[in-house]
Chains A and B, each alone.
Chain A
Amino acid sequence: MEFQKELDARGLNCPLPILKTKKSLADMNPGQVLKVVSTDCGSVKDMQAFAKQTGNELLEQSESNGEYVFFMKKK
């Protein structure tokens, strides 16, 4: 999937992946896509909850080798 910016949230624990996602989205334009890579299994539910509450769209999420990858489209 195409993305305009990537956030490496590996090794970070709750709530840092969410806080850093929010920060990364702040200087992006509406419609642009942010890729987030996290190793926190709790971030799976949290990213969904973040998207639901902020209106940013979680386009795709996947997991491989303990890494969680999210594509978030800015509202």
Chain B
Amino acid sequence: MTKKMAIIATKGTLDMAYPPFILGSTAAALGYDVQIFFTFYGLQLLKKDLSDVKISPLANPAMPMPVPMPVFVQMLPGMESMATMMMKDKLKKKGVASLEELRSMCLEADVKFVACQMTVDLFEFDKSDFIEGIEFGGAATFMEFAGETDICLFV
């Protein structure tokens, strides 16, 4: 019988966007039937335009920095964009796939993306901002699939 994996993606930052897409695409490549449920900030990962997905050095003491940076400097305008740019540059240099690339590999491999309808209503998201081919559902929709999985993760 086909193995199954379910993931709940709740975060919308660049670093936390990677695990669901890496594990989703890899599990699909290994023959798993995969479903990812995107809720709260995780919904940002389903937008056509992923440029809002950023990383912040603020309140992120584990983030390796090229030079030590005091917290009050991390708060300055533009620091988030700069950190994001540097991180993306590093990812590219190290041969790590972009989020867009991993996401399309998930879709190609028939990973099912479910967007949390409640969050869409809560944040008043426009459904036309999301990529094609996703479904909208709630907790019960997730449980229906998750209840039969071999691996179930919360990110």
Binding site for B on A (CB under 8 A): 11-16, 18-19, 21-22, 39-40, 50, 53-54
Q: Which of A15, A21, A50 contacts B25 (CB 8 A)?
A: A15
How many angstroms between the C-alpha atoms of A39 and B85 in the bound complex?
25
Is B26 on the interface with A (CB-CB < 8 A)? yes
How many angstroms between the C-alpha atoms of A47 and B108 in the bound complex?
21
Q: Are B95 and A50 in contact (CB under 8 A)?
A: no
How many angstroms between the C-alpha atoms of A18 and B32 in the bound complex?
14
With contacts A50-B29, A54-B31 taken as known, whether A13 is within 8 angstroms of B105 at the C-beta atoms is no
Binding site for A on B (CB under 8 A): 22, 25-26, 29-31, 94-97, 102, 105
Write out the residue numbers on chain A whose beta carbons fall within 8 Å of the beta carbon of B95.
11-13, 16, 39-40
How many angstroms between the C-alpha atoms of A40 and B95 in the bound complex?
9
Write out the residue numbers on chain B whose beta carbons fall within 8 Å of the beta carbon of A19.
25-26, 29, 105
How many angstroms between the C-alpha atoms of A53 and B26 in the bound complex?
11
Q: Are B22 and A15 in contact (CB under 8 A)?
A: yes
How many angstroms between the C-alpha atoms of A54 and B29 in the bound complex?
9
Q: How far is the CB of A14 from chain B (nearest CB, A)?
A: 7
Q: Are A13 and B96 in contact (CB under 8 A)?
A: yes
Q: Are A22 and B22 in contact (CB under 8 A)?
A: no
Q: How far is the CB of B102 from chain A (nearest CB, A)?
A: 8
Q: Are B30 and A54 in contact (CB under 8 A)?
A: yes
Q: How far is the CB of A21 from chain B (nearest CB, A)?
A: 8
With contacts A19-B105, A40-B95 taken as known, whether A14 is within 8 angstroms of B22 at the C-beta atoms is yes
How many angstroms between the C-alpha atoms of A54 and B2 in the bound complex?
11
